[in-house]
Amino acid sequence: MIKIKSEEEIRIMRDAGKILATTLRGIEKQVKPGITTLELDRAAEALILSLGAKPGFKGHEGFPYSLCASVNENVVHGYPSNYILKEGDIIGLDLGVIYKGYYSDMAITVPVGKISFEAKRLINVAKKSLRLGIKKVKPGNTIGDIGNTIQRLVESQGFNVVRILCGHGIGKELHEEPKVPNFGKRHAGETLKEGMVICIEPMITAGDYNLKKSADGFGFATKDGSLSAHFEHTIAVTKNGAKILTEL
């Protein structure tokens, strides 16, 4: 069942989104060669707590950290570790917070130092696909309209969208209905209604879209070892279209 949020609930989720965006931008500035993903996780948790929220991922389905840190071929749910970031890596930073009982969820992929042209292009296409997907958010459009827009842009650039993972509704639970795939047909799927809050999160690969479980047992990585990029915003459906809750 899809839960429709009140104006007050969306206001709280907007406050949660500001805390999350502030945190993630702070962590992004710390990404550089020589730092470990575990250090980034600790910094993220400290910043979330200092801003009056709680980590949204810690303890969720047994995940023991606050930050999902997914490097290179790792798509999502990367396990923070003593891995030392090196020049040329790319890293997906996926973070959630709980504020006044409501979740917010956001992800970005950033370069570590100087990266290859292809890695930069992958990141830019993933970011653009999210922006175009968000433009499809308005009452009367469908989940399929969002996914189709993302898929067409990504595939036109020679990349692929992940099939087995998708975006989702969000509110008092981290994952609510509806599911929000990054592929699909126009006019298909659930119809968007005012008061819905969803997470749109393109996950794209430079090679094949098939995934495997990461060695840590939590994450997913590309089967062929190709690079992956991931971006996400929490979005409210309003009568005037999309309202991005996770931006400053």
pLDDT digits 0-9 by tens, 44-89: 999 999 999 999 999 999 999 999 999 999 999 999 999 999 999 9
pLDDT digits 0-9 by tens, 105-123: 999 999 999 999 999 999 9
Mean pLDDT of 134-156: 98
Please state, in angstroms and rounded to a whole number, the distance separating the CA atoms of residues 20 and 12: 12
Q: Confirm or deny that 175 is annotated as ligand binding.
A: yes
The pLDDT assigned to 75 comes to 97
Q: Confirm or deny that 168 is annotated as ligand binding.
A: yes
Q: Is the pLDDT of residue 215 over 90?
A: no
The pLDDT assigned to 214 comes to 87
The pLDDT assigned to 54 comes to 98
The pLDDT assigned to 128 comes to 98
Mean pLDDT of 100-106: 98
Give percent of the chain with pLDDT exceeding 90: 98
Please state, in angstroms and rounded to a whole number, the distance separating the CA atoms of residues 227 and 119: 7
Q: Is the pLDDT of residue 231 over 90?
A: yes
Q: Confirm or deny that 190 is annotated as ligand binding.
A: no
Q: Confirm or deny that 89 is annotated as ligand binding.
A: no
Mean pLDDT of 94-98: 98
Check: CB of residue 77 under 8 Å from CB of residue 162. no
- Tell me the pLDDT of the chain averaged across its residues: 97
The pLDDT assigned to 229 comes to 98
Q: Confirm or deny that 94 is annotated as ligand binding.
A: yes
7-244: what fold? Creatine Amidinohydrolase (3.90.230)
pTM of the model: 0.97
Q: Is the pLDDT of residue 217 over 90?
A: no
Please state, in angstroms and rounded to a whole number, the distance separating the CA atoms of residues 144 and 146: 5
Q: Is the dihedral of CA 227, 233, 21, 76 positive or negative?
A: negative
Mean pLDDT of 84-100: 98
39 — pLDDT class (breaks 50, 70, 90):
very high
Q: Confirm or deny that 7 is annotated as ligand binding.
A: no
Domain residue extents for the chain: 7-244
Nearest to 91 by CA among 14, 38, 161: 38
Q: Confirm or deny that 233 is annotated as ligand binding.
A: no
14 — pLDDT class (breaks 50, 70, 90):
very high
Mean pLDDT of 174-185: 98
pLDDT digits 0-9 by tens, 15-29: 999 999 999 999 999
Backbone angles phi, psi at 158, to 5 degrees: 85, 10
